Structure 1
Amino acid sequence: MIVTSTEVQNNFGKYLMLAAQEEIIITRNGMEIAKLTALKEPSTTGSEGRQGVAEKAIAYGDHQWKATYEEFLELTQDAEARYEYIDGEIYLLASPKTAHQTALTELFGIFYNWFEGKKGTTFVAPYDITLRRNPENINVVQPDLMVICDLEEKLDTNDYYQGVPTLLIEILSEGTRRKDLVTKLDLYLSCGVREYWLVNPLNKELTVYEFVDQNINKSATYRQPEVARSFIFDGLTVGLERVFKPVQ
């Protein structure tokens, strides 16, 4: 099936479902610019042949597998779906599951209360963060949770933040493991993020990385029922029993 980028933007849910049956070729000004295909992988959580959905880069163009930043902006403008753009690849973000949202809710409550009255603002996704490895390498991500210590100074005239968050948190899921463990860790390390937390609800672990001069300076992995600690914010602790508490 061949459709225009405008049609896909306006009816993304429809074409996401159609992609399960056939490949969707997206065009702009009569030229093929992107391909939407279904990704089916065996689920690691079920034994009855159910299929899991992973976040995957959208194949862009017939021969060019990278999209420019301008093409990313055009493709995602006014789109209802959530996307990230990392090193020229566009990622469609999957809807999070209950364990992910439970951990995120608890973490946000802990961080929001701890930073109240301190220099640091806590946000949760969806909130675009633009990171640059260099002037030509522009990336747009939506971390699950972030701490921003220079919000007022780095807001542009359109009310978008243009700085580098001090601390970022990503909560792993079946479909985001490689991106969060490898791709985003490298991106955050390269762009000046000072601390990165990786939360794994699947095995109830939390790893904290401190970055210094684009290198991993320290790291620590905590397991339930231990208490995780920030390297850079003295006194900021998180009990894993609260983060991974059973759903009531």
Structure 2
Amino acid sequence: MIINSTELQNNFGKYLMLAAHEDIIITRNGTEIAKLTAIIEPLAEKINLTDMVYEKSSEYSYDGRRATFEEFLQLQRESEERYEYIDGEIYWLASPKTAHQYALTELFGIFYNFFQGKHCTPMVAPYDIELKRTPENINMVQPDIMIICDLEEKLNEDDYYKGVPSLVVEILSKSTRRKDLIKKLDLYMSCGVGEYWIVNPDNKEVTVYFFENQNFSKNATYKNNEAAQSYLFEGLSAEIGRIFRV
């Protein structure tokens, strides 16, 4: 990730956390001057890269340049496949495996029951969420689960939601791990999502990140006989043993 020195100064805590996942290159007046890197082995390096199947983004390189949002929308219209668009990169979404779908079903059931009769609404993928870093930098993602608290107010005339979910959940797989841990973590935090749950079927853990003012505030990881707890919604919890297959 490359940022300028002003951005680092204004959001040091955010980039200190992100440096645990990948190196942060700092520039001044367009020139690289420093690198923020983790002392411990970065999380991304702990992943067995030889076993990882990356999302098919290079297939849509558009003559070696990043795709525009309009080009992404055209691809989406012309294909029956599912895609996400993050910072100019297009990612093909592979069909999920059983462990992924088991965790998705169990967790959505917990959320659905909790929010019955409440103002917020749980939604499940595929469901496009449009997130804007700036008016020009538009991204389109499909979180596995979303908690939306302004659904009726943010529906456009074509019945598409144009707001920002309060809580999002991503269930890791080998093909999405790096994107979910790094790119989406930064995207959700930067665009106003309040809470981000990362569900890992491989090690049967759930990590909950709480964001305030588009920056890291709190986080916790739950495993074994524990129950993942929401910072944002009091009383919302999910027993780890229920989410994952034995």
Both structures adopt the same fold (TM-score exceeding 0.5): yes
Other-structure match for 2:214: 214
Shift of 1:98: 0.5
Shift of 1:215: 0.8
State the distance in 2 between where 1:105 and 1:201 align: 13
Which letter does structure 1 place at the counterpart of 2:90? Answer: I
Which letter does structure 2 place at the counterpart of 1:228? Answer: A
Shift of 1:78: 4.2
Shift of 1:102: 0.2
Other-structure match for 2:61: 60
What TM-score comes out, normalization by structure 2 length? 0.78
Shift of 1:227: 0.6
Where in structure 2 are the equivalents of 1:66-105 lying within 5 Å? 66-105=66-105
Q: Does 1:205 align with 2:213?
A: no
Shift of 1:126: 0.3
Where in structure 2 are the equivalents of 1:12-51 lying within 5 Å? 42-43=50-51
- Contact 1:171/1:198 (<8 A) preserved: yes
Which letter does structure 2 place at the counterpart of 1:61? Answer: Y
Other-structure match for 2:229: 229
State the distance in 1 between where 2:55 and 2:226 align: 30
Which letter does structure 2 place at the counterpart of 1:182? Answer: I
State the distance in 1 between where 2:240 and 2:213 align: 29
Other-structure match for 1:112: 112
Which letter does structure 1 place at the counterpart of 2:79? Answer: A
- Contact 2:172/2:201 (<8 A) preserved: yes
State the distance in 1 between where 2:64 and 2:165 align: 35
State the distance in 2 between where 1:189 and 1:85 align: 16
Other-structure match for 2:162: 162
Shift of 1:53: 3.1
Structure 2: runs of 5+ lacking an equivalent: 1-48
- Contact 2:154/2:161 (<8 A) preserved: yes
For the residue of structure 2 that corresponds to 1:134, the secondary structure is coil
Which letter does structure 2 place at the counterpart of 1:110? Answer: I
Identity of aligned residues (%): 63
For the residue of structure 2 that corresponds to 1:109, the secondary structure is helix
For the residue of structure 2 that corresponds to 1:126, the secondary structure is coil
Other-structure match for 1:46: none
State the distance in 1 between where 2:164 and 2:188 align: 9
For the residue of structure 1 that corresponds to 2:153, the secondary structure is coil
Shift of 1:135: 0.1
Q: Does 1:188 align with 2:198?
A: no
- Contact 2:99/2:245 (<8 A) preserved: no
Structure 1: runs of 5+ lacking an equivalent: 1-40, 44-51
Where relative contact order (Cα < 8 A, 6+ residues apart) is larger, the structure is 2
Shift of 1:42: 3.8
State the distance in 2 between where 1:167 and 1:61 align: 33
State the distance in 2 between where 1:144 and 1:177 align: 13
Shift of 1:57: 2.0
For the residue of structure 2 that corresponds to 1:139, the secondary structure is strand
For the residue of structure 1 that corresponds to 2:147, the secondary structure is strand
What TM-score comes out, normalization by structure 1 length? 0.77
Root mean square deviation, CA, Å = 1.2
- Contact 1:210/1:231 (<8 A) preserved: yes
Which letter does structure 2 place at the counterpart of 1:106? Answer: E
Other-structure match for 1:139: 139
State the distance in 2 between where 1:63 and 1:236 align: 45
